[in-house]
C-alpha cells in the first residue's frame, strides 16, 4: 500500500505517481448520464446544427437511405453526447482507490485529444462507454522539473457490444511554478471592420461539401490543400447553440431543483456570482465576468468545439463515401469570444494497405511496413492530412493530424477499419500495453 500521507498538495511526489499507477486498467464510473441515450434524427440534427453543419447525411433520414450506410448516421464527435456507463459498480477497495486526485493542487491542462472511429453511430443505435486510465508517465518539463502525463480512454460500443470508437485524452500535471511559464495569448479581439466581416461572409457563402460525389483515392495528390472553412467571429450565442446539441457535459444537467440537488452534494461546482447566487463553474464560457475572475480577459470556447470543427472540415472533404478514421488534436491557445477561426488542411501522405493485419503498405514513397489495426476485407486506402485551426492573428490555436479512408476507382468502397480487440476490456489491455511500450522506448 502507498503511504498517501507522503503526497503533498500541489507537489509532484513519487507517492502521487504510485497511486495514479494503481488506477491503470481500473474502470472509472462516469459522473453523469449521457445527454442522449439513443441516436435519433433530432439529436443528430441538433448536434450538427450546433457547429454549423447541415449535411443531410446527419440531418435527413431519407437522404441517408440512399447512401452506402443505408440510414442516417451521426457526426463523428457525436460520441460526446452518448454513452451509458459500462463500468461495474466499484467495491469499497476500488472506491477508496478512485477517491480524490493523486495530483490535486497541480496545474493541469489538456495536452492532446485523440479519436479512432471503427463504425458509425447509426439511427436507433445506443451506446455504452467504458472509462479507464491507461497510462501515467513522468516526463521532464521544458521549464525544469518533471510533469505527470495521465492518459484516459473512453471506449464506446453499440447495443450489440461491437466497439464503435475510442476517445483518448492526455492531461499534463505540473507544479504551479512550472505551469505558470506556459503563457497563453490573451489579446482581446479588436472590433471588426466591414471589410473583415465581408471576407468572412464570402468564405461562408463559398463553403462546399463533397456529399454524394465520391472522392477517389487515386485522385488525391500529396501536397494538395483542403478548401478552407471559417467559424466565427465566435459569439456567446454560438456557445449556447453548441450546448443545445452537445449537452452540459461537465456539470450534471438540470435547472432549479435539479441543480439544487447537485449543488447540495458538490457546492464547489457552483461558485457565487456577483449577486451572491451560486451558479455553474462552466459559466466562464459565456459569462465574461467569471472568466475575468479567473485571470482571463473574457469567455472562450471548448476544446470539443474545435475538435468538431476540424471533423467538419474533413468530413465535407471526404464526402459520404469516405471515412474519418483517426484524429489527434492539440489545443495550444485560447479561442476567445470575438475570435475567428480558419480551418485549414493539407494532404501529407497516401498509401494502400493490404493483408489481414495491415502488414504491407504501398505509398508514394514505395513499400513499407504498416502495423496497427488489422484489415479483414481488402485494401485500405489511407490518406494522411495535416489540419489546423488558425485565428485572425495568424496564430495556430489547435494543430492536428488525421487519417481518412477513401474509396478506390478500381478497389471499390471503403472497408471500415477493425478495432484492436473485440471488446472494450480487450481494447483497454491493448492500450495499456501500447502506452507502456512507448514509455519503455522513450526511457
Q: Which domains does the chain have, with CATH numbers?
A: 7-182+421-442 (3.10.129.10)
Query: CA–CA distance from 172 to each of 104, 251, 254 (Å)?
Result: 12, 22, 31
The x, y and z cell numbers of residue 201, run together, are 461572409
> How many beta carbons lie within 10 A of that of residue 127, not counting itself?
23
Q: What is the pLDDT along the chain (443 residues), one digit of tens a residue?
A: 344 445 566 688 999 999 999 999 999 999 889 999 999 999 999 999 999 999 999 999 999 999 999 999 999 999 999 999 999 999 999 999 999 889 988 877 888 999 999 999 999 999 999 999 999 999 887 655 789 999 999 999 999 999 999 999 999 988 765 544 444 456 778 899 999 999 999 999 999 999 999 999 999 999 999 999 999 999 999 999 999 999 988 777 889 999 999 999 889 889 999 999 999 989 999 999 999 998 889 999 999 999 999 999 999 999 999 999 999 999 999 999 999 999 999 999 999 998 544 444 444 432 222 333 333 457 899 999 999 999 999 999 999 999 999 999 998 999 999 999 999 999 999 999 998 898 888 87
Nearest to 256 by CA among 284, 278, 234: 278
Cβ(86)–Cβ(129) below 8 Å: yes
Q: Confirm if 416 and 119 have CB atoms less than 8 A apart.
A: yes
CA distance 386 to 340: 20
From CA 184, how far away is CA 341, in angstroms rounded? 17
Sign of CA dihedral 45, 49, 51, 56: positive
Return left, alpha or beta for 358; rule: phi > 0 is left, psi -120 to 50 is alpha, else beta: left
Checking DSSP bridges between strand 107-117 and strand 323-329, what pairing results, if any?
antiparallel
Helix (H, G, I), strand (E, B) or coil at 279: coil
Nearest to 224 by CA among 364, 103, 340, 128: 364
Residues 39, 82 contacting (CB under 8 angstroms): yes
CA–CA gap between residue 380 and residue 299 (Å, rounded): 43
Amino acid at each position: 500500500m502507498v503511504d498517501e500521507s507522503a503526497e503533498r498538495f500541489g507537489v509532484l511526489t513519487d507517492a502521487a505517481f504510485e497511486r495514479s499507477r494503481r488506477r491503470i486498467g481500473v474502470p472509472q464510473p462516469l459522473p453523469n448520464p449521457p445527454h442522449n441515450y439513443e441516436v435519433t434524427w433530432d439529436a443528430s440534427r441538433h448536434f450538427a446544427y450546433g457547429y454549423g453543419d447541415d449535411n443531410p447525411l446527419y440531418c435527413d433520414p431519407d437522404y441517408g437511405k440512399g447512401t452506402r450506410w443505408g440510414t442516417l448516421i451521426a457526426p463523428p464527435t457525436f460520441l460526446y453526447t452518448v454513452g451509458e456507463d459500462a463500468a461495474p459498480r466499484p467495491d469499497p477497495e476500488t472506491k477508496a482507490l478512485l477517491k480524490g486526485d493523486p495530483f490535486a493542487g497541480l496545474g493541469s491542462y489538456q495536452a492532446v485529444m485523440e479519436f479512432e472511429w471503427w463504425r458509425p453511430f447509426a439511427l436507433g443505435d445506443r451506446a455504452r462507454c467504458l472509462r479507464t486510465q491507461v497510462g501515467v508517465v513522468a516526463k521532464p518539463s521544458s521549464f525544469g522539473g518533471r510533469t505527470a502525463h495521465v492518459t484516459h480512454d473512453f471506449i464506446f460500443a453499440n447495443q450489440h457490444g461491437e466497439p464503435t470508437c475510442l476517445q483518448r485524452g492526455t492531461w499534463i500535471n505540473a507544479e504551479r511554478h512550472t505551469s505558470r511559464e506556459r503563457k497563453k495569448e490573451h489579446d482581446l479581439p479588436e472590433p471588426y471592420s466591414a471589410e473583415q466581416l465581408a471576407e468572412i461572409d464570402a468564405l461562408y457563402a463559398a463553403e462546399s461539401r463533397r456529399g454524394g460525389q465520391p472522392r477517389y483515392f487515386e485522385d488525391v495528390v500529396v501536397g494538395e490543400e483542403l478548401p478552407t472553412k471559417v467559424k466565427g467571429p465566435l459569439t456567446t450565442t454560438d456557445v449556447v447553440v453548441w450546448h443545445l446539441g452537445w449537452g452540459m457535459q461537465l456539470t450534471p444537467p438540470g435547472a432549479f431543483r435539479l441543480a439544487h440537488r447537485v449543488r447540495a452534494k458538490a457546492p464547489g461546482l457552483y461558485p457565487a456570482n456577483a449577486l451572491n447566487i451560486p451558479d455553474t463553474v462552466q459559466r466562464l464560457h459565456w459569462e465574461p465576468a467569471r472568466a475575468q475572475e479567473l485571470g482571463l480577459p473574457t469567455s472562450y470556447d471548448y476544446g470539443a468545439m474545435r475538435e468538431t470543427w476540424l471533423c467538419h472540415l474533413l468530413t465535407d472533404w471526404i464526402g459520404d463515401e469516405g471515412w474519418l478514421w483517426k484524429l489527434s488534436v492539440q489545443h495550444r491557445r485560447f479561442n476567445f469570444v470575438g475570435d475567428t477561426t480558419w480551418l485549414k488542411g493539407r494532404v501529407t501522405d497516401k498509401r494502400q494497405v493490404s493483408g489481414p493485419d495491415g502488414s504491407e503498405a504501398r505509398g508514394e514513397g514505395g513499400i513499407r511496413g504498416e502495423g496497427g489495426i488489422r484489415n479483414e476485407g481488402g485494401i485500405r486506402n489511407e490518406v494522411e492530412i495535416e489540419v489546423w485551426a488558425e485565428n485572425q492573428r495568424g496564430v495556430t490555436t489547435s494543430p492536428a493530424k488525421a487519417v481518412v479512408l477513401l474509396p478506390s476507382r478500381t478497389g471499390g468502397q471503403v472497408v471500415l477499419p477493425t478495432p484492436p480487440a473485440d471488446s472494450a476490456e480487450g481494447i483497454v489491455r491493448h492500450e495499456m500495453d501500447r502506452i507502456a511500450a512507448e514509455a519503455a522506448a522513450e526511457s
